[in-house]
């Protein structure tokens, strides 16, 4: 099923991340999308995906340079349209990050923090590869996805979330960390659905059909 033209799904281009891999993943399940860095097109979109790979402070600087911060915040907080952050895109929703010691978008009462792991343990930073999720609450994003499902991760930072009601998934990597959030129309996943085969495609489809 293809999303109708009246339900435009925009992938935000702020010069970081895996934009085309997300667009290709959506296309495989019949979901039309477009990539843009235009504040005007954010305003006219029905849903947006905020991707990201890289450094938090650099990403916030690029959002600022492109004039996207106000448009994104209006979309998420005023218009309350669905937004999905992926990996760094989810971390950017936080109030602050230790990566560069800078403020984020401030949509979620959370801080992005680096993994603190036992150097003699089996876990290394970055956390890369497949890992399980524990689903903490009912969600449209998780429709058809079972507790304990595996998704692909690639990250060194994760969210420390002050409001536990916003936690959608948790994952064990030496200790438990938040691997997905949901707060009203705001969704975020630390893992990469576009690299997570059938379950990742199911998650993207769930988001696109909200």
User: What distances in angstroms separate CA 133 from CA 10, 43, 147, 148, one per listed residue?
Assistant: 26, 33, 7, 5
Question: What's the Cα-to-Cα distance from 140 to each of 46, 122, 146, 156, 208, rounded to whole Å?
Answer: 17, 34, 12, 27, 11
Angstrom distance (rounded) from CA 137 to CA 145: 12
Distance CA 79, CA 177 (A): 30
* DSSP run (H or E) holding 76: none
Burial of 68 (0-12, 13-18, 19+ CB in 10 A): buried
Q: Element (H or E) spanning 39, and its range?
A: helix 39-44
134-135 and 167-173 strand pairing: antiparallel
Helix (H) or strand (E) holding 11: strand 9-12
Residues in the chain: 210
Residue 194 bears catalytic tag: yes
Catalytic residue of the set 123, 194, 197, 209? 194
Is 155 catalytic? The answer is no
Check 127, 155, 158, 192 and give the catalytic one. Answer: 192
In degrees and rounded to multiples of 5, residue 47 shows phi and psi of -145, 150
Q: Which of 87, 99, 155, 158 is catalytic?
A: 87
| Residues known to be catalytic | 87, 192, 194
């Amino acid at each position: 099923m293809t999303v109708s033209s009246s339900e435009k799904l925009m992938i935000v281009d702020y010069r970081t991340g895996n934009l085309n891999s997300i667009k290709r993943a959506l296309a495989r399940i019949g979901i039309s999308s477009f990539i843009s860095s235009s504040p005007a097109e954010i305003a006219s979109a029905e849903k947006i995906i905020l991707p990201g790979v890289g450094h938090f402070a650099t990403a916030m600087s690029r959002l600022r340079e492109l004039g996207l911060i106000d448009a994104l915040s209006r979309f998420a907080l005023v218009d309350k349209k669905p937004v999905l952050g992926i990996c760094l895109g989810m971390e950017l929703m936080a109030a602050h990050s230790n990566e560069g010691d800078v403020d984020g978008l401030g949509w979620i009462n959370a801080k992005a923090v680096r993994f603190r792991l036992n150097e003699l343990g089996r876990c290394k930073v970055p956390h890369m590869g497949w890992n399980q999720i524990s689903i903490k609450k009912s969600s449209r994003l998780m429709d058809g996805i079972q507790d304990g499902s595996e998704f692909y991760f690639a990250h060194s930072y994760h969210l420390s979330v002050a409001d536990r009601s916003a936690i959608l998934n948790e994952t064990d990597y030496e200790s438990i960390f938040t691997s997905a959030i949901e707060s009203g129309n705001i969704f975020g996943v630390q893992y990469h659905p576009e690299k997570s085969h059938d379950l990742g495609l199911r998650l993207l489809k769930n988001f696109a059909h909200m």
